[in-house]
Amino acid sequence: MSLQITSRGQGPDLALVHGWGLGAGVWNGIVDVLANDSRVHVVSLPGYAGSPDDRADFSATADALAAALPAGTCCCGWSLGGMLALAAAARHPRHFSRLVLVGSTARFLRDDGWPAAQPPELLDTFRHAIADDARTTLTRFVMLFNQGDTKARAVARALTPLLADGLPATATLLRGLGWLAEADLRDLLAGLTLPTLLLHGDQDPLMPFGAAEMLAARIPRARLERFAGCAHAPFISAPERFTDLLRSFCHEPA
């Protein structure tokens, strides 16, 4: 499997991994700042940005992420991309220098041991809606994960144009929903040895803040930074604080 990666800047390696539905364009507003002192690798997952969709499973995609990035990379993943980054770091513990999880979780679906998550019915609703009208569903998705953000309109204005640039195929979107349904990374958390930074909005309706608190309690070297008044995309609603924290963390000495 080959991931599509664009790189720019000079300095320590920093990878940005997008989540479900919107593609790597979500990072457009912060890449220039990050590239001032890092070599930034913007990853497009299979089926996004014209990259081939080879129908790989979640674990194989996590392995491909590790294989595609330079050793010593600080890997930052958002939402589903954070889950892939977490899996890649756990499966290849010596490859990455640091891990950053943005609005992410170890388990998307709720159960007795992981209450800060979504009911299975939500994914069922999205599956049916994506099969019927992907563009309208993704527009509603952006509105859903902005609920509660004090800058919701600005976030929507930044993300909505991405839906006009070419959507992933329906099969790619459905596969991503399948990953969200099936991935359960809780057993990997205690064994993560990397310094880990959790950047999470306290109003996140998709990946509740309680999930970040549970990650912080279970990952040995984790630090949680709370973004007050932010929902699921703090890198858009609070970009200056987000980039300051990310740059400081990734540039810390080992």
Instruction: Decide the pairing of beta strands 222-227 and 196-201.
Output: parallel
Find the catalytic residue in 79, 97, 104, 237.
79
- Write down the catalytic residue from 13, 63, 149, 204: 204
- Apex 157 CA angle, 48 and 123, nearest 5: 50
Q: How far apart are CA 208 and CA 105, in angstroms?
A: 9
Q: CA-based angle 199:245:63, to the nearest 5?
A: 60
107 residue type, one letter: R
Distances (CA, A) of 224 to 36, 47, 125, 199, 212: 25, 31, 31, 6, 7
CB distance 144 to 184 below 8 Å: no
Q: What are the strands of the beta sheet with 39-44, ordered from one edge?
A: 4-8, 39-44, 13-17, 73-78, 96-102, 196-201, 222-227
Annotated catalytic residue 53? no
Distance CA 68, CA 225 (A): 28
Decide if 204 is catalytic: yes
Q: Which of 18, 41, 95, 232 is flagged as catalytic?
A: 232
59 is catalytic: no
Catalytic residues: 79, 204, 232
